[in-house]
């Protein structure tokens, strides 16, 4: 049965389209135009009470009953559990997936997101402080990721939902004013992921 993906063309939306493609799950996109405030509509708030995209509706959830899930990290973990893909079976194997998924959710998302905000401001004085602060933190996070990938292909060992989560934000590196050449291990990881046919389909999916 087809999963509904309620989203918009953002890094958090791309995390889920990539995961769905990699997992081979059928889905249809239901655009939520955040530029017009559609995330505040009562119908969407029933799915995502925090009025943030993405959210999914799985008509064939646990025990065969429909279920809705909000928050991209929760969606990725749910899809990993549902399919048994990109989420290790052992607790030992899951620990680094959990760590790097939470790293993305708590840092490599909120911090680049602040860069997105301040870089769009027209007043140079308003922009300057915020950009200096959040660009520096964003580059620090790219450095953390680069060191992590120095001796492994993916952040948690095997390819996992944590990679999909991080990729959604690394995809916006031009907007972060970050040259991946400055972080060669991230560049290698990014290019390897983007070369995967399912990732390409997920990135090319029309979300708006």
Give the model's pLDDT for residue 45. 95
Q: Is the pLDDT of residue 126 over 80?
A: no
Q: How high is the mean pLDDT of the chain?
A: 95
For residue range 61-74, list pLDDT tens digits in order: 999 999 999 999 99
Domain ranges in the chain with CATH number 3.40.30.10 = 3-87+199-204
Among the residue ranges 48-57, 107-116, 124-133, 143-152, the one predicted with the least confidence is 124-133
Give the model's pLDDT for residue 10. 95
Give the model's pLDDT for residue 119. 83
Q: Is the pLDDT of residue 177 over 80?
A: yes
Q: Could you confirm whether domain 3-87+199-204 is CATH 3.40.30.10?
A: yes
For residue range 16-43, list pLDDT tens digits in order: 999 999 999 999 999 999 999 999 999 9
Which CA distances in Å does 126 have to 109, 112, 131, 132, 163? 21, 17, 9, 11, 34
Q: Is the pLDDT of residue 130 over 90?
A: no
Fold for domain 91-196?
Answer: Glutathione S-transferase Yfyf (Class Pi); Chain A, domain 2 (1.20.1050)
Cβ-based burial of 175 (10 A; exposed 0-12, middle 13-18, buried ≥19): middle
pLDDT band at 152 (very low <50, low <70, confident <90, very high): very high
Strand pairing partners for 68? 57
Q: Is the pLDDT of residue 117 over 90?
A: no
Give the model's pLDDT for residue 12. 96
Q: Which tokens hold the place of 96?
A: 């680094």
Give the model's pLDDT for residue 132. 85
pTM: 0.86
Q: Which tokens hold the place of 146?
A: 């680069």
Give the model's pLDDT for residue 184. 98
In this prediction, residues 60-89 reach a mean pLDDT of 97
Pairing of strands 27-31, 67-70: unpaired
Phi first, then psi: give them for residue 25, nearest 5 degrees. -95, 135
Q: Is the pLDDT of residue 121 over 90?
A: no
Looking at the chain, the whole-number percentage of residues with pLDDT higher than 70 is 100
């Amino acid at each position: 049965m087809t999963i509904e993906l309620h989203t918009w063309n953002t890094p958090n939306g791309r995390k889920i389209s990539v995961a769905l493609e990699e997992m081979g799950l059928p889905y249809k996109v239901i655009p939520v135009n955040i530029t017009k405030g559609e995330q505040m509509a009562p119908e969407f708030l029933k799915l995502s009470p925090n009025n943030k995209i993405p959210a999914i509706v799985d008509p064939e959830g646990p025990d065969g009953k429909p279920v809705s899930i909000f928050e991209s990290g929760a969606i990725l973990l749910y899809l990993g559990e549902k399919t048994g893909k990109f989420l290790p079976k052992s607790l030992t194997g899951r620990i680094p997936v959990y760590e790097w998924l939470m790293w993305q959710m708590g840092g490599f998302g909120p911090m680049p997101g602040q860069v997105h905000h301040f870089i769009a401001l027209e007043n140079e004085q308003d922009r300057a402080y915020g950009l200096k602060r959040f660009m520096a933190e964003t580059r620090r996070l790219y450095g953390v990721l680069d060191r992590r990938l120095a001796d492994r292909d993916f952040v948690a060992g095997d390819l996992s939902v944590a990679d999909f989560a991080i990729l959604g934000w690394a995809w916006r590196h031009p907007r972060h004013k970050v040259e991946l050449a400055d972080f060669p291990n991230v560049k290698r990881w990014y290019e390897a992921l983007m070369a995967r046919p399912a990732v390409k389909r997920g990135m090319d999916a029309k979300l708006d």
